[in-house]
Structure 1
Amino acid sequence: MNTATAIALLVLVAAGSASASDAAPADATAAPAADAKSPPLDAKPAPLEKSLSYGVGLRVGGGETTQTAANTVGVSSLDVRPYISGKIHPMVKFSANLDLNNTDASRIHVLDAVAQFEPDQLFNVWFGRFLPPSDRANLSGPYYQNAWLYPDAVNGYPSIYAGRDDGFALWGQTSGGQFKYQGGFFTTDANTPAKQGIYAARLTYNFLDPEPGYYNSSTYYGSKQILAVGGAVQYQRNGIPTATGKQDLLGFNFDALFERPLLGGDALSLEGAYYDFEQGNQGQSFFVLAGYMIGQKLGIGKVQPMVRYQQLMPTGGGTSTHVLDGGLNYILDGHNARLAFVVQHRDLPAVASTTTFQLGVQFQE
């Protein structure tokens, strides 16, 4: 092999090496693209978020009642409420609650059974048994109010049990509960004539912190700044039996709640409501309530003195009903754990006045 031939071979080998070296990065870059795979056509979507919650509420209360006849003593309130709620789709939910109460021969009642379609905060549909649009006290219920005893002297709205009716409601809210509307059609009997159902509606506006959701509370124990006003109306054709037949029921109310946290963890609560059942029911009524929670703990809880006055003025005059409550709440964990001592004096028409001293315990989990 001569020198010229050797040089030619070296040039060819070098050119081949350079070509191979230049091609390598292109192959390396292309490899990931070749490995990338598109989702198969039969791939299943991510599962929807579902949930199931359960709990129980318990209220036990009792004491002594003094009257002109012999005094009585005993446990006057035994209430157990199992709670179940769930979500099968972000827009589809349900609630199912039972109630066992010693004041009704210890029978188990269907308290709530609600199918909830909630596509948007502005528009929701509930169907089943639940609290209809009514006053704040009713929408709070006994477990979420300031006082231990429910204000039973003032409310004349019809119900099946514990304020509940069967029917449906349209409701919505803006700004997470700043403004709320509720309206619906309800019955108290499975065989109610079509023209004798209950039409119910309510509007609520919160000037300070919002109250989200269908229900509300009558105190937040200083966790919110509340200035809320609301009003409700219910109408039922031939809803009230009379000696000569039936009369229409037309009832309405206005209510307000003011609650403000103060220095040191204290909290002031003021609540009031006015009712008018002039057509076909008992007349006009109102209640006012004041409570003050002391922020400094006493032991493991906080003390809240409270006082409430109720008055009912019957249609057409006559003797009014007066009910005065005063007591101390001992707050362990908000509405989930509290103790209460209450004194209630009742002056009722044609009935001897009574004074009740009662201790109460409430737990929820």
Structure 2
Amino acid sequence: MNRIRAMTSLTVPAMMALLMAPLDAAVAEEAKPAPAPKPSPLDFHLQVRVNTLAEGKHDAFLDDYRFESILAVPGVSGQLTPWFSYAFSGVGSAESFDSAQVRVLDAVGMFKLADPLQIWVGRFVVPFDRFNLSGPFRNLIWNYPGFYGGVRRVGGENGLFGRDTGISVWGSLSEGLFKYQLMVHQLENRDAGPRLSGRLSVSLLGREPGYFVSSSYLGEKDVLALGVAMQYQHDGRTWTPGPPLGTPPPPADAPVSQQVDDLLAVTADLFAEKNFGSMGTATLDLAYYHYDEHRNYQRAYAITAAYIPPLKLGAGRTQLGLRWEEAFASRLQPQLSDVRGLDVSVSHFFSGYNLRLGLDYSRQWLGSEGVANTVSVGFQYGLP
């Protein structure tokens, strides 16, 4: 009876508040943000890239059709403690069944003391230009830049697939507003000093706080980023002087005179991407390279532009890309010609970079080697 008298003595608003209290508590519980997923100690991932091409050399448009390559990258990664994670991956590459090769791609331990101070040890991507840090699986244009006549003539001074073995100290401030990356690598080379690679970058709009970047975010965020980088190695450049201009090439059995000098490479890049909503997404990427004069090609640049139209063609989205690049021979190599290339690319992303179909037409002017035309058709699959 006393409880009934107590309840009847309550006002109507007070009684409503008492009855709604359990419901309010339930709603408040649902409104709480979901807890962050626990880091997994073991994640499996797989990336596959298949490329076929038709090419024409010496100004023939297309006279050779062939399967070019397949690249498969299986790997595992995970976070064992709040401050330590790891990544290990292998790579299988082949131009034919007889030429298949399998090797280690990445093997790295990652120590994170804080966002501004992280240490990587092992074999991993060298932090130089933006193309290397986005890798072949997240490049805007299907064909990788810097290759002329099938030979890599522009890019970072590093090992196969853009990797090297070494130690990196890097970090980001203000969630990626500013980022620095410094790597000491090629420590196994006893004939030269260690190679140093360093990169500084700033992201003024959408941030890029991670070690890697992308050549396009497919309209998912707006980005305006500027980066500069340098590589240096004492006695790291072995070069062979070319014959003086106007003189005949030396006989094939003539002794080769090699010289050793310091290696120096610098680069700068500007990346901008903007999603204009119903007007589509536009991308612009500018890159410049300058090397010591003992490198065969001393200067180079690349201009890349892309557009994602607002029209949807089935599942996913389509990106149109255009790239112009040039490389200029060193004055110490008068027998070499300046080279330049044009790429026109169309890629359809069914599920982002995890499922992509690409078509690329390339025309390259190779000086004394003539003109080369290439049409590449590629398929890319990734298992996150």
Tell me which structure has the larger Cα radius of gyration: 1
Aligned-residue offset at 1:337: 1.0
- The match for 1:126 is 120
Residue 345 of structure 2 corresponds to residue 327 of structure 1: yes
Residue 240 of structure 2 corresponds to residue 240 of structure 1: no
- The match for 2:47 is 57
Question: What residue ranges of structure 2 are gaps of 5+ in the alignment?
Answer: 1-37, 148-152, 240-256
- For residues 259 and 144 of structure 1, the distance between their equivalents in structure 2, rounded to whole angstroms, comes to 15
Tell me, yes or no, if the aligned pair for 2:53 and 2:67 is still in contact at 8 Å.
yes
Aligned-residue offset at 1:265: 6.7
- For residues 157 and 267 of structure 1, the distance between their equivalents in structure 2, rounded to whole angstroms, comes to 29
- The match for 1:339 is 357
Aligned-residue offset at 1:304: 1.2
TM-score, with length taken from structure 2: 0.79
Residue 372 of structure 2 corresponds to residue 358 of structure 1: no
Aligned partner of residue 369 in structure 2, secondary structure? coil
Q: CA 1:195–1:342 in structure 2 vs 1: closer, same or farther (change >3 Å)?
A: closer
Q: CA 1:50–1:263 in structure 2 vs 1: closer, same or farther (change >3 Å)?
A: closer
Aligned-residue offset at 1:50: 4.8
Aligned partner of residue 278 in structure 2, secondary structure? helix
Tell me, yes or no, if the aligned pair for 1:65 and 1:355 is still in contact at 8 Å.
yes
Equivalent residue in structure 2 for 1:305, among 315, 320, 339: 320
Aligned partner of residue 162 in structure 1, secondary structure? helix
* Larger mean Cα displacement after TM superposition, 263-272 or 68-77: 68-77
Amino acid at match of 2:364: R
Tell me, yes or no, if the aligned pair for 2:132 and 2:156 is still in contact at 8 Å.
no
Equivalent residue in structure 2 for 1:144, among 133, 138, 142: 138
Percent of aligned positions that are identical: 28
Residue 67 of structure 2 corresponds to residue 75 of structure 1: yes
- The match for 1:259 is 273
Quote the RMSD (CA, aligned, Å): 1.8
Q: CA 1:175–1:79 in structure 2 vs 1: closer, same or farther (change >3 Å)?
A: same
Q: How does 1:1-365 map to 2 (within 5 A)?
A: 50-68=40-58, 71-103=63-95, 105-153=99-147, 155-187=154-186, 190=188, 192-193=189-190, 195-242=192-239, 243-264=257-278, 266-281=280-295, 282-316=297-331, 319-365=337-383
Q: CA 1:50–1:300 in structure 2 vs 1: closer, same or farther (change >3 Å)?
A: closer
- For residues 39 and 360 of structure 2, the distance between their equivalents in structure 1, rounded to whole angstroms, comes to 45
* Larger mean Cα displacement after TM superposition, 207-216 or 146-155: 146-155
- For residues 265 and 331 of structure 1, the distance between their equivalents in structure 2, rounded to whole angstroms, comes to 18
- For residues 276 and 225 of structure 1, the distance between their equivalents in structure 2, rounded to whole angstroms, comes to 29
- For residues 244 and 361 of structure 1, the distance between their equivalents in structure 2, rounded to whole angstroms, comes to 42
TM-score, with length taken from structure 1: 0.83
Question: What residue ranges of structure 1 are gaps of 5+ in the alignment?
Answer: 1-47
